[in-house]
Amino acid sequence: MRATATAHKDFTIAKIDDRVYGAFLEHLGRAIYEGIYEPGHPTADENGMRGDVAKLVKDANVPVVRYPGGNFVSAYNWEDGIGPREQRPVRLDLAWHTSESNAVGVHEFADWCATVGTEMMLAVNLGSRGVDEARNFLEYVNHPGGSYWSDLRIKNGRMEPWNVKMWCLGNEMDGPWQVGHKDADEYGKLAANTARAMRMFDKSLELIVCGSSHSDMATFPDWERIVLEHTYEQVDYISLHMYFRNPEKHTGNFLGLSEKLDTYIDTVASTIKQVKAKKKSKKDIYISFDEWNVWYHSNKKDREILNGDSGWPHAPGLLEDIYNFEDVLMVGLILNTFIRRSDVVKIACIAQLVNVIAPIMTEKGGPAWAQTIYYPYYFASVYGRGTALNLLVDSPTYECAHSAKTAYVDVSGVHNEEEGMLTFFLVNRHSSESIDIDISLQGFAGGTIVDHQVMTHSNLEAVNTAANQTEVAPRKGSGASVGNGQLSAKLPPYSYQMIRVKV
């Protein structure tokens, strides 16, 4: 089989916002406790933060981390996580039926972000709380000093404000599972009032209002329209979430889910335009896709923990999906979609970062390792920075549950002009056929392949474990070539690859 593509230097989509490679950490399961924080671990620093985990996060050059939830934030009191540790209260977390020690709060999280070189994106609680909590939290985090909350921060050991720019106005407020769930009008009004108050403190904040929890919600896409009608002039982004599942073990349909993702983005982009037109506004709103990942492997175990009689455990092993090779392909496809929709998707967060549906796994007192999906995330984040190219792709197709014509070859292209680098991320969705692809490079001079990474495996269900951490890992590719202004490569069946060309 053959496929072709054309990459022209001037035929671009948008400058990719680096924050599209962000991640998410929630007080859930072992994400924080035994994830990033484990005092006494052989690699822990003086703050009890695991060095092995921090290294994997740093290596992936994660630009932003959303915190502290998730469903957790909708009944969270941020004040519980400040001040001397021994005085912090243990609370019941209603979202995940667990106990929260509050040993980690905003100070510890901020210090960890500084260690791993990432920016904070904070969420305020618009479930059980509202405007007052949001304005106080903002003052605590961002005001230099001389007021009640900022002076309390200083007393608690942090002199400088953190100047957090990105603030989420609650989480998944369309979901009946959310503490303090609201209908679109109710939430839209609360979000608008909260945003107004936050902007009275600082006009330059970047505020993110909740869109739908997923595109199968009965309220989608009216939720987006109504919420934006209330908040359009007050916010900058609308948040979308989507998790990808394959319980039926139908790889063709599973890998076709990125078509559904694309339609979801497209629909919300249209809704944004509709409300913009209705409001006669000059302002643009963008999408913050701040929760996405494969999530289904752990469902059975989670039901046992959550429905069983386990009481209110602290940091149980919830949502610990063990990712396989098939998920590598799916994550590659999701990231390709975000690159191609970089005109509207400006922030995105893989959910989550450590242990909980995460690319990084840990064992208590033991190692931290990269799950299979770490690699496509790593490659996109480290090498996918620049301008997204509008590739003209011609690939054989197949029919799946989400689209009549799903291309076997899915490809995104990124041009980094400063580095003189062209990077292609390619997925072959075909189960048995290799596909030869020729990419015509137009408007680029020269062309030398400087890196070629391939991920394939004979078993779609192969996983990495503590004992075998590299069962699924990239290897150096061979056989790709550039000549006469054309990049040619062979894409093995069910494969992911990255090719970098110096131009």
Q: Which residues of the shown chain bind ligand AHR in the complex (CB under 6 A)?
A: 26, 69-71, 171-172, 213, 291, 351-352
Q: Give the residue nearest to ligand AHR (CB).
A: 70
Nearest Cα to Cα of residue 34 among 118, 98, 88: 98
Least separation in angstroms between CB 96 and ligand AHR: 8
Half-sphere exposure of 376 (CA within 13 A, CB side): 35
Rounded to a whole number of angstroms, the minimum distance from the CB of residue 198 to ligand AHR is 21
Pick the catalytic residue: 133, 259, 291, 320?
291
CA distance 415 to 178: 41
Name the residue nearer to ligand AHR (CB basis): 213 or 258: 213
- Report the length, in residues, of the chain: 503
| Annotated catalytic residue, options 172, 224, 320, 326 | 172
Sign (positive or negative) of CA dihedral 236, 382, 350, 334: positive
Please confirm whether the linkage preceding 70 is cis (ω < 30° from 0): yes
- Give the nearest distance from C-beta 155 to ligand AHR in angstroms: 32
Between 212 and 352, name the residue whose CB sits nearer to ligand AHR: 352
Q: What sign does the CA torsion over 217, 219, 222, 226 have?
A: negative
**Has 291 been annotated as catalytic?**
yes
Minimum CB distance to ligand AHR, residue 418 (Å)? 35
From the CA atom positions of the chain, what is the Rg in Å? 23
Contact 22, 377 (CB under 8 A): no
CB closer to ligand AHR out of 167 and 496:
167
Q: How far is the CB of 241 from ligand AHR (least distance, A)?
A: 6
Number of Cβ within a 10 Å radius of residue 291: 25
Closest to ligand AHR by CB, 121 or 489: 121
Is 38 catalytic? The answer is no
CA distance 100 to 80: 10
Q: Which is nearer to ligand AHR, 259 or 290 (CB)?
A: 290
DSSP three-state, residue 287: strand
CA 73/CA 460 separation, integer angstroms: 36
Q: Which is nearer to ligand AHR, 334 or 389 (CB)?
A: 334
Q: In a 3-state reduction of DSSP, which class is residue 261? A: helix
- Which spans in 144-183 are helix H? 148-155
Report the catalytic residues. Answer: 172, 291
